[in-house]
Amino acid sequence: MSNRVAVVGVGQTKYAAKRQDVSMAGLVREAAKRALDDAGMTWSDIDAVVIGKAPDMFEGVMMPELYLADALGAVGKPMLRVHTAGSVGGSTGVMATHLVSSGAHKRVLVVCYEKQSESNATWALSIRLPFTGGSVTGAGGYFAPVIRAYMRRSGAPDDIGIKVSVKDRLNALNNPYAHLKIPDISEEMVRESPMLWDPIRYLETCPSSDGACAVVLTDEDTAKGTPNPPAWVHGTAVRSEPTMGAGRDVVNPHAGRDCAKDVYAQAGVTDPRREIDCAEIYVPFSWYEPMWMENLGFAPEGEGWKMVDDGSTSMKGDLPINPSGGVLSSNPIGASGMCRFAEAALQVRGMAGDHQVDGAKLALGHAYGGGAQFFAMWMVGSEKPNA
């Protein structure tokens, strides 16, 4: 038995390759201030602040919560910093939810960010430890073989990744905060774009973005007094499995399947494909959409690609995936998971603007990280959950 939790404020920065108009502190304040405005609150209303981001070495600041405490109005309050690789935006949201559901706090500000332009993430990801040899080829080099294995396993036609890329880029045109906007995007354009890590083409990859995303979480009583409709948290879950484990399946990870089952059970969802109205899921390379359709139980194993092929995951389909344009359109790494969680909340609040899914009442936010061994999810709804 725990307390109900509401998302009463969401704030995002404009995502861009370089936000040199702001410092790191300015960047996180921009998102936090917008979330507070949405919640009808000021800094002093907040009881605790939780921040999440990817490795400290991305920006060269060790434990940046220390430097950011003042900028985020956290002085005199509890402040925590989560780091769970690429899933961190999600796991930070999950942890902050627990701070409210446990009764510890009534109003929690959650902020995730990355300012990749101030450092060199590729360098930070490629620190070669002594003795380890070296065939490091970046995130694309790691995930391309996984995608190839999925294509072999499922027999998916090779244009599925292209279709996902076009869909997400079209969705991004309706999101004012999206980083990549390619108005004349087409299947030909994606197909003709350079092959980087075969089978991944340039336009099938995510950009590298600066940006921050914030949410304000409250207990039920506090949510009554907020100006805009809340999103209610119906379930949260995290799962991790070993990175180098003999017998783990990187294509369809056990941890992702367990995490989804857990969050569905908490939300009372038995048929996710029918009951969930839309989902924001972590797709940094286009092929991850069909792969996650299977991992999340939206499609039987080997058939996730059919949901892409028949348009089910488009804005006109029965389960729109990434109405915001997703990670393929904006990728402030440490915030990318929080963007998914926040966008899911915007949908069920009816506040997603031009990329609103009509009548969305139940939405899934999803994040994964590392070599697909870390997962975090939440289910949000327009109605209060039972007990």
Partner 1 sequence: MSETAEAPGPVTIVETPIHLDYKFTPGVAQSRFLRALERGEITGQRCPKCQKVYVPPRGACSMCGVATDEEVKLSGKGTITTFCVTQIPSPGLVPPYVTAWIRLDGSDITSMFLIQECDPAEVRLGMRVEAVWVEESELVPDLGNIKYFRPIDEPDAEYETYKDYV
Partner 2 sequence: MKSFLRDVAIVASATFETPSEPSRNEVEMLLPVIHDALGQVGLSQGEIGFTVSGSSDYLQGYTFAFVGALDAVGAWPPIRESHLEMDGAFALAEAVAYLQEGHVDTALVYAFARPSRGDLDRTLSVQLDPYTVAPLWPDARGLAGLQAQAMRDSGRYGDVPDVTPTYVGDGVTAVILATGDRARELTKTPVWIRGIDHRIEAQMLGLRDLGSSASTKLAGEGAGATNIDEAYLHVLYPHQELLVKDALGLDRQPVNTAAGPMMVGGLERLATAAKSIAGTGKRAVATATSGACMQQNLVAVLEGAAA
**Residue 194 binds partner 1 (CB under 8 A):** yes
Applying the rule CB under 8 A, the residues between 50 and 79 that interact with partner 1 are 60
- Give the count of beta carbons closer than 10 Å to the beta carbon of residue 254: 16
Q: Which of 1, 76, 133, 271 binds partner 1 (CB under 8 A)?
A: 133
Q: Which is nearer to partner 1, 249 or 262 (CB)?
A: 249
Residue 234 CB-half CA count within 13 A: 26
Q: Which is nearer to partner 2, 305 or 341 (CB)?
A: 341
Instruction: Tell me which residues touch partner 2 (CB under 8 A).
Output: 1-2, 23-24, 55-57, 59-63, 65-67, 69-70, 74-85, 91, 94-95, 98-99, 101-104, 118, 124-125, 127, 129, 237-245, 248, 253-255, 258-259, 370, 373-374
Per CB under 8 A, which region of 39-47, 147-155, 281-289, 357-365 contacts partner 1?
A: 147-155
Structure tokens at 248: 């783990």
Q: Tell me which amino acid residue 193 is.
A: S
**Residue 155 binds partner 1 (CB under 8 A):** no
x/- track of binding to partner 1 for residues 159-188 (CB under 8 A):
------------------------------
- Interior/surface letters 325-345, b for 16+ CB within 10 angstroms, e for the rest: bbbbbbbbbbbbbbbbbbbbb
* Eight-state DSSP code of residue 321: B
- The rounded distance, in Å, linking the Cα atoms of 158 and 148 is 10
Cα–Cα separations (whole angstroms), residue 365 to 70, 84, 149, 381 = 29, 16, 26, 11
Residue 132 Cβ, how far from partner 1 at the closest point, in Å? 6
**Residue 146 binds partner 1 (CB under 8 A):** yes
- The rounded distance, in Å, linking the Cα atoms of 234 and 267 is 5
Question: Is residue 122 within 8 Å of residue 128, measured between CB atoms?
Answer: no
Which chain residues interact with partner 1 by CB under 8 A?
A: 20-21, 60, 117-118, 129-135, 137, 140-141, 144-146, 148-149, 152-153, 194-198, 242-251
